[in-house]
Amino acid sequence: MTLPDTSASRRDVLKAALATGGAAALSACLEAVDDEPIPQGVDDPETLPDRQFAWNDSLDHDEAGNVVLPEHHLFLYLTYDGEAGNDGTPTDADRERLTAALRTIERAYERSNRGVVFDLGYSPAYFDRFEASLPESVDLPPPRRLTPVDTPTLDEQDALLQLASDRSDALLAIEETLFPDGDDTPETLNGVAVTGRLGEVFRIDDRRTGFIGPGLPAANQGVGGIPEDGPVPDAAPLFMGFKAGFAANQASEASVAIEDGPFAGGTTKHVARIRQQLDKWYDENSHEEMVAKLFSPQLAESGAVEGVGENLGDDSGITAELFAAIDETADVFGLVGHAEKAARGNRDSEGNVRTLRRHVESTDNDNASLHFPSYQQQISEFEAVQEAMNGTDIVADNPEIDPRVRNGIFRYIFVENRGNFFIPPRSRRAFPTPQGGDAA
């Protein structure tokens, strides 16, 4: 296979290979990166932060100070079958196997976007196998339908492992090595001895892939859901043509961490998979109309968002005054913006942002979609944000606004899956019991 050698093509090979998966895809990646080494991890994983999801300090930041997510993401939805005769509850032997496998990743790859960051979460269905319940400090209801306009499939696998890196060959190598297929079982990962394999304790039920970063959506827009004339701007990190995740509009990792109880340092994670249908987005809207629907009609009118939104710096411009005036905005413009609407539910009593959003694009199944992970102390906080985004109150008061029309971006996005997960602190991440016991 002849591989192009420009940097843009290299990123695209890395993206395509992860979406395809398997040993041949890993080989294609390795040719594209031409032996460029990936930094190894720590000798002693005990030195790593206890908050599994505390990635930000180790990731790149842009000039304005916003976190830049790794370019490639792998979401492995996992099933734990347990050992026969143990009622499906995890054994200490399995805890040790899982701990060894996770530590293998941490020894093999630097915990950064140049290496690999990851977190492992458990679903309510996982905890159902135990007689005891989770402590009150962990709010983890089963996933459910959260908008009036979508009927998603509920993800009820036992666990979700999300891995992210600028080097998809690292993600593929982890998958190939820790879930070995047949006789080919490499003994090392990035030059580090394998001491445990995920395949010894988990089965992969579903494999989803994601990517983000300027240029990648434009280069990968030849899929369902995007018009054939290729309208996605080269500078856009996301298919809809704008930047998201500004520092001032994101919760800090510390503030989404559970504060008390056996799982202090853990958090909850909601993950939606959202199909995008962007023909009308690109065919019907001018730049100003896009800004109105994604941010706020008031920001559109003042010309606040230029191009993909780099000029915004570290703040989307969605102020408390703006979202407090949303009823007036709806009256005047007959339209409300996605961000201003959702932000109404996204502040605590002191005005701090409640959720940490880390969404990335996908071309799985040859259709444009978005993986939308959101971290918050309690799942009920995410549900409140989603309710604010639904805008049911605004729709009820404004004849011009329908649940899917002129109501932010609802016309273009369709929720296909929803899952809720609990991310235990690192020290309790190996098959936790509801009381917090594990063998690590």
The site for ligand HEM (CB under 6 A) is made up of: 238, 240, 242, 244-246, 249, 272, 274, 276, 294-295, 316, 318, 338-339, 342-343, 346, 353, 355, 357, 370, 372, 385-386, 389, 413
- Output 138 or 291, the one with its CB closest to ligand HEM: 291
* Structural element, H or E, at residue 361: strand 360-362
Pairing of strands 153-154, 413-423: parallel
- Output 170 or 240, the one with its CB closest to ligand HEM: 240
Distance in Å, CB of 117 to ligand HEM, minimum? 20
Distance in Å, CB of 249 to ligand HEM, minimum? 3
Cα end-to-end span (Å), the chain:
44
Distance in Å, CB of 190 to ligand HEM, minimum? 33
Residues 422, 140 contacting (CB under 8 angstroms): yes
- Output 292 or 318, the one with its CB closest to ligand HEM: 318
SS3 435: coil
Short-list 54, 101, 88, 85, CA closest to 430: 101
- If one counts every other C-beta atom within 10 angstroms of the C-beta of residue 319, the result is 16
- Output 316 or 363, the one with its CB closest to ligand HEM: 316
Distance in Å, CB of 43 to ligand HEM, minimum? 37
SS3 10: helix
- Output 268 or 433, the one with its CB closest to ligand HEM: 268
Beta bridge partners of 31: none
- Output 31 or 279, the one with its CB closest to ligand HEM: 279
| Residue 181 token pair | 């297929």
- Output 226 or 339, the one with its CB closest to ligand HEM: 339
- Output 203 or 347, the one with its CB closest to ligand HEM: 347
Short-list 362, 359, 317, 312, CA closest to 337: 317
Residues 156, 75 contacting (CB under 8 angstroms): no
- Output 202 or 295, the one with its CB closest to ligand HEM: 295
Distance in Å, CB of 209 to ligand HEM, minimum? 17
Distance in Å, CB of 342 to ligand HEM, minimum? 3
Distance in Å, CB of 355 to ligand HEM, minimum? 6
Residue 229 contacts by C-beta under 8 Å, 6 or more apart in sequence? none
* Structural element, H or E, at residue 386: helix 379-390
| Residue 191 token pair | 């030059």
| Residue 228 token pair | 């054939």
d(CA 89, CA 81) in angstroms, rounded, equals 9
- Output 114 or 243, the one with its CB closest to ligand HEM: 243
Distance in Å, CB of 51 to ligand HEM, minimum? 21
Residue 387 contacts by C-beta under 8 Å, 6 or more apart in sequence? 146, 345
- Output 65 or 191, the one with its CB closest to ligand HEM: 65
Distance in Å, CB of 208 to ligand HEM, minimum? 15
| Three-point CA angle 24, 79, 45, nearest 5° | 75
Token pair 């605004």 is found at 394
Distance in Å, CB of 409 to ligand HEM, minimum? 6
Half-sphere exposure of 182 (CA within 13 A, CB side): 3
d(CA 243, CA 317) in angstroms, rounded, equals 13
| Residue 424 token pair | 């235990």
Distance in Å, CB of 142 to ligand HEM, minimum? 18
Residues 179, 77 contacting (CB under 8 angstroms): no
Beta bridge partners of 211: 72, 361
| Residue 76 token pair | 């492995």
